[in-house]
């Protein structure tokens, strides 16, 4: 009772405080100096207090102020802050100047803290959500290409939902993930790219199978308010593990109160048509056969080394179910055959692809009142790809809300449910791989058998029900067989979101608690019908991946203004993170009867289960000091303990410091030429833990294969068999460290008509935890240890220019340019090369002293001066029996140029994206030479003298190099192209090609209907855009679009082995708000 009374008294005191007699009320109107229009939403605050309001729709405000109030501060978005002393008058009309320097731009840090960009001591780049939605890309990340310096985006293929590889400032981890963190509203979300297939095959599964999505595909681009790209460790050090790869910080759209009440409704539709943008050139002159002779349609011959089509006829008197016009005969035979039909080559590849079509619809409803806001949105994407029957669908439902519960306590949260997946495309080194099957196919065989319907069974089935393909029914699947008979479907159900409460205890202390979670179930099913090339007895597998993580952050923030010149703040926090991932795999072979796509018809079933659990706990702190609004110092520290490290050494600490100095302010350089200039300097050390279960040695289920065949797997006839795992664990692992130094400047010239943001960085990663290969004679193949060290040095430039700016017309140019120089400094004692991924003889390696990710493989033998040695016995170059570096896939630099023009309601924007340098292994060409299908084999039979020096084998078979220039001609015939002229038998070196490109990445023409015209309609705005993507491509690469990746978002970029082509697309988008 007594307590209640006290509280009541307190409450009274609070109420009475509000009604002090000396208070007075100020009213006024805020207008813009530029065009005299009134400005709504301008914040009006009594300086030194929390008393404030904001202007209404008409720019009017009304504020009751205490007698102690001396100054009012007016601040509005895009306007210069203005402090006005309170005078005697109760009416204060204010004119605000536009802030052309945009100094109030806010960036969101990895941990979800908003900060004025002006005060940041490291490089970041912010994009509005529109930059990601404009081109209508399925995967939000792929829209970042060319728009951010230091960010390299590689769309792995043009198939629906294909994965996207993202790298910020190169790679920091030699064998670990190099994906930046994807953070949504302060909580990381999973961006795995899991392979499909038997886990015993490990990463080899990336080389074949289908192109699965990386999980960022589940983000609905229309839900994104803004994206802030934090490029270096300094920016992300506070966030913790994996921070070395930078972060993509996404802020989602939140509800806003609608002026005048009611709800905002936005409805949008995008339609997009896509087509193949580039295919390898093939020969269509020579028909199926060998040595210039015909091979019959039913023969299993694989090559197109037959006679020329010019002298070929079809004989209807020799019918075959493989060809509607009959067998091929030569001109002489045709002369004696009545009814012989002149042969023509089939254009299988171009006929196979269709125009893809995607449609995306979305609706968002938002609203609120003084205390609460909400936003609910739903979107639906249906993407039917360039490959018949392939598709990707995504449904996304989001809810976001916030509520001010008391003046001190607010709560907010958002939750997104996504359902995504589709019917995927077989690719890569895979007998069902569509490009492999399409490109190896001979021009004399019609894969469609005259059908235009991709589902027509007579294309891929013979009358007896067996497969119809160009090799008499064996080996490579007919592409129509694959799309109809070997479906792969995936279905992801995912939910992620976070809730947050903020409690402002008093003017200098506040608390935040944030709990986030992300979980999904990814169900995949693959069916290979009986009679498929790789699985003649059929196969079916189910793979079910379950992922869940929970992230908890508690933060206390203390801010103290010591004087007008000096402010300090301190943040202390605690973080818990735990993740769980389960991968269940069930595979059934030897199907008992056809066409029934259920694992119960399999007579040979294997199952695999794996569970990965991982947890971390961290304490962190950040101290910020601001002096005179011109010198900003940030210090952070984080102490993290991880479940994957040895118990007695599982905790590690990493600090960062950054300094921002607005020198134009300090030096009083208030002039028009350089109104704003800031220097940035930062240093950070970030840590990283070990992979799970890396401390011990284990046994694993017996699985034995040899690189050619599927092999055998235990249990075998009900008998269990375990074998010692090939990797040696290490009980003494310690955390990895990346040390990052960064210096840069932000400069704004000529009333912000010209801006320049330039950064130099130098990052060095040490003690990297590697699975280091060891000699097989140790009984193992790998040993986990702290070893590798690598550095990245680079320059990033972001510039913008506004050459023309008038009332109705404006022209803006934005430029991004970046160069990253990576160097592997050390791998492990005695180890100079480390396999990262790929095939035997053409793989990606880390090599000491070279940039990361070198192409490594078979090469020509060279003399001491680097000349290729030619065997004078046959005039052919000699192959080096050892493998080595054959090319660097890393680009010299990347850049993007955006030109935008706005005229009244119209805006036109074009982005040119450039990648300079970086070699690609064209394994497709290497293989196709063997089959006589590349364009270069069309001139078969011509002679060539290989450049190099002569050598011969003496009686003891030792090579003797004479040093004379080679003059021995070689006939480039079938035996050459099936010998060293193919990637199968010859060195991979000859198939390394320049992967540079210039592409017109995006063009958009938008029109916003003048709001004045809509005043009487129910619509608030109507925007219409025409969009084009990849409309033009300039490259010397002879294969598909060089923006390609066989292994998706993995670490081995630069490999093209029957990769799916990319697309160019055209679209239209309409957005209406009510």
Partner 1 sequence: MKKIQIKTRTIVLFFAALSLGSCKKDFLDVNDNPNLPEEVPVNIILPAAQASLAYDFGGDIARFNAIMAQNVTGVGRQFIGYNSYVFTEEDFNNLWNNMYAGNMSDLYKIMEKAKATPGAYDGYDGVAKIIMAYSLGTMTDLFGDVPYTEAFKGNASLTPKYQTQQEIYETILPELLNSAIADFANTGDDFVLPGGDDKIYGGDLAKWTSLANGLKARFAIHLTKINPGAAQAALDAINAGGLASMDDDAQFGFGGTYQNPWYQYIDQRADISYSSIDYYYGVGCFLSDTMEASGDPRYGAVIDTGGTYYAPGFPSALYMGDDAPVYFFTYFEQKFIEAEAKLLTGDDAGAEISLHEAVTANMEKLGVDSADNATYQTANVVWTGTTQDKLNLIMFQKYVANYLQPESWTDWRRTGQPNLQPNAGSTSPIPRRYIYPTNERLYNPNASNASTTMLTPRLWWDN
Q: Does 717 bind partner 1 (CB under 8 A)?
A: yes
CA distance 317 to 778: 65
Q: Does 607 bind partner 1 (CB under 8 A)?
A: no
Q: Contacting partner 1 (CB under 8 A), which of 77, 667, 716, 825?
A: 716
Q: Contacting partner 1 (CB under 8 A), which of 975, 1010, 1017, 1034?
A: 975
- Residues sharing a CB contact under 8 Å with residue 885, sequence separation 6 or more, in sequence order: 845, 847, 850, 854, 855, 856
Q: Assess contact for 355 and 384: CB atoms under 8 A.
A: no
Q: Contacting partner 1 (CB under 8 A), which of 146, 309, 356, 841?
A: 841
CA distance 739 to 527: 48
Decide whether 457 or 639 has the Cβ nearer to partner 1: 639
Is the link from the previous residue into 715 a cis peptide, with omega within 30 of 0?
yes
- Compute the least distance from the CB of residue 613 to partner 1, in Å: 4
Q: Does 507 bind partner 1 (CB under 8 A)?
A: no
Q: Contacting partner 1 (CB under 8 A), which of 725, 766, 863, 936?
A: 725
Largest CA distance in the chain: 120
Q: Does 930 bind partner 1 (CB under 8 A)?
A: yes
Q: Does 862 bind partner 1 (CB under 8 A)?
A: no
- Compute the least distance from the CB of residue 799 to partner 1, in Å: 45
CA distance 650 to 642: 6
Decide whether 531 or 895 has the Cβ nearer to partner 1: 531
Q: Contacting partner 1 (CB under 8 A), which of 840, 942, 964, 1036?
A: 840
Q: Does 598 bind partner 1 (CB under 8 A)?
A: no
Residue among 225, 272, 146 at smallest CA distance from 1002: 146
Q: Does 89 bind partner 1 (CB under 8 A)?
A: no
Q: Contacting partner 1 (CB under 8 A), which of 858, 1039, 1050, 1067?
A: 858
Phi, psi of 1054 (to 5 degrees): 100, 15
Coil, helix or strand at residue 781: coil
Q: Which of the residues 751 through 790 are near partner 1 (CB under 8 A)? A: 773-781, 783
- The residue with tokens 């921002």 is 660
Q: Assess contact for 847 and 830: CB atoms under 8 A.
A: no
Decide whether 714 or 749 has the Cβ nearer to partner 1: 714
Decide whether 502 or 812 has the Cβ nearer to partner 1: 502
Q: Which of the residues 432 through 491 are near partner 1 (CB under 8 A)? A: 474-475
Q: Which of the residues 9 through 68 are near partner 1 (CB under 8 A)? A: 10-11
* Choices 202-210, 317-325, 436-444, 833-841 (CB under 8 A): range interacting with partner 1: 833-841
CA distance 842 to 1057: 10
Q: Does 696 bind partner 1 (CB under 8 A)?
A: yes
Q: Which of the residues 263 through 302 are near partner 1 (CB under 8 A)? A: 300-302
DSSP string, 291-355: TTEE--TTS----B-S-BGGGEEEETTS-BTTBTT-EEEEHHHHHTSTT-EE-----HHHHH---
- Compute the least distance from the CB of residue 267 to partner 1, in Å: 38
Q: Does 833 bind partner 1 (CB under 8 A)?
A: yes
- Compute the least distance from the CB of residue 960 to partner 1, in Å: 14
- Compute the least distance from the CB of residue 513 to partner 1, in Å: 5
Cα angle value 265/268/271 (rounded, 5°): 170
Q: Which of the residues 559 through 578 are near partner 1 (CB under 8 A)? A: 574, 576, 578
Q: Which of the residues 792 through 831 are near partner 1 (CB under 8 A)? A: 830-831
- Compute the least distance from the CB of residue 881 to partner 1, in Å: 5
Q: Which of the residues 1033 through 1062 are near partner 1 (CB under 8 A)? A: none
CA distance 379 to 224: 13
Q: Contacting partner 1 (CB under 8 A), which of 15, 719, 807, 1018?
A: 719
Q: Does 711 bind partner 1 (CB under 8 A)?
A: yes
Decide whether 501 or 1021 has the Cβ nearer to partner 1: 501
- Compute the least distance from the CB of residue 583 to partner 1, in Å: 9
Residue among 414, 26, 389 at smallest CA distance from 220: 414
β 52-54/959-965 pair status: unpaired
* Choices 95-103, 330-338, 511-519, 916-924 (CB under 8 A): range interacting with partner 1: 511-519
Q: Assess contact for 1031 and 1039: CB atoms under 8 A.
A: no
* Choices 56-64, 390-398, 450-458, 694-702 (CB under 8 A): range interacting with partner 1: 694-702
CA distance 171 to 765: 10
- Compute the least distance from the CB of residue 848 to partner 1, in Å: 11
Q: Does 592 bind partner 1 (CB under 8 A)?
A: no
- Compute the least distance from the CB of residue 953 to partner 1, in Å: 7
* Choices 232-240, 317-325, 797-805, 870-878 (CB under 8 A): range interacting with partner 1: 870-878
- Compute the least distance from the CB of residue 179 to partner 1, in Å: 23
Binding footprint of partner 1, residue count (CB under 8 A): 113
Q: Does 980 bind partner 1 (CB under 8 A)?
A: yes
Q: Assess contact for 999 and 912: CB atoms under 8 A.
A: yes
Burial (Cβ within 10 Å: 0-12, 13-18, ≥19) of residue 561: middle
- The residue with tokens 């704004």 is 748
Phi, psi of 300 (to 5 degrees): -90, 10
Coil, helix or strand at residue 133: helix
Coil, helix or strand at residue 917: coil
Q: Does 372 bind partner 1 (CB under 8 A)?
A: no
Q: Which of the residues 135 through 194 are near partner 1 (CB under 8 A)? A: none
Q: 685-694 b/e with 16+ CB inside 10 Å = b? A: bbbbbbeeeb
Coil, helix or strand at residue 265: strand
Q: Does 979 bind partner 1 (CB under 8 A)?
A: yes
Cα angle value 658/663/665 (rounded, 5°): 120
- Compute the least distance from the CB of residue 783 to partner 1, in Å: 7
Tokens of 840: 């035997």
Q: What is the CA radius of gyration of the chain?
A: 33
Decide whether 106 or 985 has the Cβ nearer to partner 1: 985
Q: Does 641 bind partner 1 (CB under 8 A)?
A: yes
* Choices 222-230, 714-722, 818-826, 1012-1020 (CB under 8 A): range interacting with partner 1: 714-722
Q: Which of the residues 419 through 438 are near partner 1 (CB under 8 A)? A: 431
Q: Which of the residues 390 through 419 are near partner 1 (CB under 8 A)? A: 405-406, 408-409
Q: Which of the residues 642 through 681 are near partner 1 (CB under 8 A)? A: 642-644, 650
Decide whether 555 or 798 has the Cβ nearer to partner 1: 555
Q: Does 599 bind partner 1 (CB under 8 A)?
A: no
- Compute the least distance from the CB of residue 716 to partner 1, in Å: 5
CA distance 120 to 632: 7
Q: Assess contact for 915 and 892: CB atoms under 8 A.
A: no
Backbone CA torsion sign across 168, 174, 177, 181 = negative
Residue among 762, 867, 871 at smallest CA distance from 822: 762
Q: Contacting partner 1 (CB under 8 A), which of 559, 832, 900, 902?
A: 832
Q: Contacting partner 1 (CB under 8 A), which of 692, 795, 848, 1005?
A: 692
Which helix H or strand E contains 510, and what residues bound it? strand 509-528
- Compute the least distance from the CB of residue 943 to partner 1, in Å: 18
CA distance 264 to 268: 13
> Dihedral of the CA atoms 56, 62, 64, 69 (nearest 10)?
90
Q: What is the side-by-side strand order in the sheet with 82-85?
A: 52-54, 43-46, 71-75, 82-85
Q: Does 508 bind partner 1 (CB under 8 A)?
A: no
Q: Which of the residues 513 through 532 are near partner 1 (CB under 8 A)? A: 513, 515
């Amino acid at each position: 009772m007594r307590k209640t009374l006290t509280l009541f008294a307190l409450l009274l005191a609070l109420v009475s405080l509000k009604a002090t007699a000396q208070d007075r009320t100020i009213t006024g109107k805020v207008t813009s100096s530029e065009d005299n229009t009134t400005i709504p939403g301008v914040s009006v605050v009594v300086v030194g207090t929390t008393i404030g309001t904001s202007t209404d729709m008409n720019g009017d405000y009304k504020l009751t102020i205490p007698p102690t109030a001396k100054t009012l501060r007016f601040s509005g978005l895009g306007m210069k802050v203005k402090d006005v002393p309170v005078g005697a008058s109760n009416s204060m009309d204010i004119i605000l100047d536009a802030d052309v320097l945009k100094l109030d731009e806010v960036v969101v840090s990895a941990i979800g803290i908003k900060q004025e960009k002006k005060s940041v001591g490291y490089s970041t780049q912010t994009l509005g959500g529109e930059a990601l939605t404009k081109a209508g890309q399925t995967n939000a990340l792929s829209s970042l290409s060319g728009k951010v310096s230091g960010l390299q985006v590689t769309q792995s293929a043009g198939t629906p939902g294909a994965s996207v590889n993202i790298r910020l400032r190169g790679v920091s981890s030699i064998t670990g993930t190099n994906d930046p963190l994807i953070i949504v509203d302060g909580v990381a979300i999973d961006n795995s790219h899991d392979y499909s297939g038997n886990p015993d095959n490990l990463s080899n599964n990336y080389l074949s199978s289908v192109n699965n999505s990386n999980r960022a595909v589940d983000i609905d681009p229309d839900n994104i308010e803004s994206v802030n790209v934090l490029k270096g460790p300094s920016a992300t050090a506070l966030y913790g593990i994996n921070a070395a790869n930078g972060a993509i910080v996404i802020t989602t759209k939140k509800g806003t109160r609608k002026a005048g009440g009611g709800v905002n409704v936005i409805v949008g539709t995008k339609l997009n048509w896509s087509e193949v943008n580039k295919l390898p050139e093939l020969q269509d002159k020579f028909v199926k056969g060998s040595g210039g002779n015909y091979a019959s349609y039913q023969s299993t011959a694989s090559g197109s080394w037959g006679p020329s089509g010019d002298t070929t006829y079809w004989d209807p008197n020799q019918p075959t179910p493989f060809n509607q016009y009959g067998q091929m005969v030569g001109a002489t035979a045709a002369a004696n055959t009545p009814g012989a039909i002149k042969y023509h080559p089939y254009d299988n590849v171009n006929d196979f692809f269709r125009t893809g079509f995607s449609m995306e619809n979305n609706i968002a409803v938002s609203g609120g009142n003084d205390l609460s806001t909400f936003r609910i949105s739903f979107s639906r994407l249906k993407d039917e790809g360039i490959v018949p029957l392939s598709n990707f669908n995504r449904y996304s439902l989001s809810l976001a809300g916030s509520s001010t519960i008391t003046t001190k306590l607010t709560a907010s949260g958002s939750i997104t449910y996504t359902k995504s997946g589709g019917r995927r495309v077989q690719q890569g080194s895979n007998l069902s791989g569509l490009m492999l099957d399409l490109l190896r196919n001979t021009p004399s065989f019609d894969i469609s058998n005259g059908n235009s319907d991709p589902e027509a069974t007579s294309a891929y089935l013979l009358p007896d029900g067996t497969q119809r393909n160009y090799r008499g029914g064996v080996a490579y699947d007919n592409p129509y067989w694959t799309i109809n008979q070997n479906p792969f479907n995936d279905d992801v159900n995912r939910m992620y979101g976070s809730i947050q409460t903020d409690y402002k205890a008093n003017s200098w202390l506040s608390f935040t608690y944030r709990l986030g979670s992300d979980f999904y179930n990814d169900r995949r099913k693959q069916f290979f019908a009986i009679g498929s090339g790789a699985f003649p007895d059929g196969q079916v597998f189910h793979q079910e991946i379950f992922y869940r993580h929970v992230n908890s952050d508690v933060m206390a923030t203390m801010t103290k203004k010591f004087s007008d010149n000096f402010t300090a703040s301190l943040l202390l926090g605690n973080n818990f993170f735990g993740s769980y991932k389960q991968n269940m795999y069930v595979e059934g072979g030897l199907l008992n009867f056809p066409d029934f796509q259920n694992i119960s018809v399999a007579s040979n079933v294997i199952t695999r289960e794996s569970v990965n659990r991982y947890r971390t706990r961290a304490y962190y702190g950040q101290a910020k000091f601001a002096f005179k609004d011109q010198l900003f110092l940030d210090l952070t520290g984080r102490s993290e303990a991880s479940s994957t490290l040895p118990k007695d050494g599982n905790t590690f600490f990493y600090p960062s410091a950054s300094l921002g100095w607005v020198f134009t302010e300090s030096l009083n350089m208030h002039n028009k030429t350089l109104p704003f200039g800031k220097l940035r300097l930062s240093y950070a050390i970030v840590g990283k833990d070990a992979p799970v279960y890396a401390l011990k040695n284990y046994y694993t289920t017996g699985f034995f294969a040899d690189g050619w065949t599927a092999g055998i797997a235990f249990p075998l006839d009900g008998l269990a068999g375990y074998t010692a795992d090939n990797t040696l664990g290490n009980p003494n692992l310690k955390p990895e460290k990346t040390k990052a130094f960064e210096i840069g400047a932000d400069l704004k010239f000529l009333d912000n008509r010209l801006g320049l943001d330039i950064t130099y960085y130098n990052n060095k990663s040490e003690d990297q935890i590697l699975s280091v290969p060891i000699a097989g004679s140790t009984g193992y193949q790998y040993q986990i240890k702290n070893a590798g060290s690598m550095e990245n040095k680079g320059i990033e430039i972001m510039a913008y220019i506004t050459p023309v700016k008038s009332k109705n017309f404006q022209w803006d140019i934005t430029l991004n340019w970046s160069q990253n120089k990576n160097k592997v400094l050390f791998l492990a004692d005695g180890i100079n090369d480390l396999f990262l991924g790929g095939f035997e003889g053409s793989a990606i390696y880390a090599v000491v002293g070279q940039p990361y990710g070198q192409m490594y493989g078979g090469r020509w033998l060279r003399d001491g001066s680097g000349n290729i040695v030619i065997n004078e016995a046959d005039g052919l170059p000699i192959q080096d029996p050892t493998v080595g570096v054959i090319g660097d896939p890393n680009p010299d630099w990347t850049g993007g140029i955006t030109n935008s023009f706005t005229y009244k309601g119209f805006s036109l924007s074009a982005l040119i994206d450039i990648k300079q340098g970086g070699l690609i292994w064209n394994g497709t060409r290497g293989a196709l030479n063997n089959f006589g299908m590349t364009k270069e084999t069309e001139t078969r039979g011509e002679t060539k003298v290989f450049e190099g020096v002569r050598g011969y084998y003496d009686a003891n078979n030792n090579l003797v190099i004479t040093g004379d220039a080679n003059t021995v001609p070689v006939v480039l015939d079938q035996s050459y192209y099936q010998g060293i002229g193919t990637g199968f038998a010859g060195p991979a070196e000859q198939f390394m090609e320049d992967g540079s490109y210039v592409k017109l990445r995006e063009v958009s023409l938008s029109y916003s209907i003048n709001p004045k015209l809509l005043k009487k309609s129910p619509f608030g705005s109507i925007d219409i855009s025409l969009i084009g993507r990849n409309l033009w491509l300039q490259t010397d690469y002879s294969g598909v679009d060089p923006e390609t990746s066989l292994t998706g978002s993995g670490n081995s970029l630069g490999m093209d082995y029957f990769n799916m082509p990319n697309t160019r697309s055209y679209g239209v988008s309409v957005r209406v708000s009510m």
